[in-house]
Chains A and B, each alone.
Chain A
Amino acid sequence: NAGVMQNPRHLVRRRGQEARLRCSPMKGHSHVYWYRQLPEEGLKFMVYLQKENIIDESGMPKERFSAEFPKEGPSILRIQQVVRGDSAAYFCASSPDLGGSTEAFFGQGTRLTVV
């Protein structure tokens, strides 16, 4: 069973470009979570999605950031008009259900560098 797959692992964008980060959850997992980790800082929750639904986006910046988890295909975190402050590691996690005893598994992250 493959783990959570994120791609690309490294992404370089110029200021003003768009960044698209992809996350394929583990097989059988229908819940996806995105986290951001700024350099030398902790992991901050961004958004929680189920298939075709955004459940909690309380950690998402109000502008330029969006996320989706379509019925088919990976979850996408999209950052429009990137700025240098968006440079960070973005991690995706997945879990199979809502039970409190079910652990979430993380991918290896996408490291976004804005130049």
Chain B
Amino acid sequence: DAKTTQPPSMDCAEGRAANLPCNHSTISGNEYVYWYRQIHSQGPQYIIHGLKNNETNEMASLIITEDRKSSTLILPHATLRDTAVYYCIVRLNNAGNMLTFGGGTRLMVKP
């Protein structure tokens, strides 16, 4: 599975958009980009995933660059409850769905 690089920490003001970057320069053509988050030692929570196209759901938007070497997770209106560690993961199509977690980005939403 391709390796990802994320900043270790970020701050965001409550109510503002949080933009979390992820580099995955060695991603291969059949690898998806997944985002999960872990709120204070709870179980990781699935957020969103995509292959090439930008994706949006009720939680977030995922913007993937045209060359697929990087992506950005956008939380449009961050709340205090969005404070968590966010993990960007790329995964092979036939890897048995195993997720390999890196260090993630610790997002702190401040009032």
Contact = CB atoms under 8 A, between A and B. Distances in A.
Interface of A: 4, 31, 33, 35, 37, 42-45, 48, 55-56, 89, 91, 93, 95, 97-109
Contacts, number: 69
Contacts of A108: 42-43
Interface residues of B, number: 27
Interface stretch (B13-21, B59-67, B76-84, B88-96): B88-96
B7 interface: no
Given A43-B44, A102-B97, 19 more contacts: A4-B43, A31-B96, A31-B97, A33-B97, A33-B98, A45-B98, A48-B97, A55-B96, A91-B44, A93-B99, A95-B97, A98-B94, A100-B91, A101-B49, A103-B34, A104-B97, A106-B44, A108-B42, A109-B43
B9 to A, nearest CB: 14
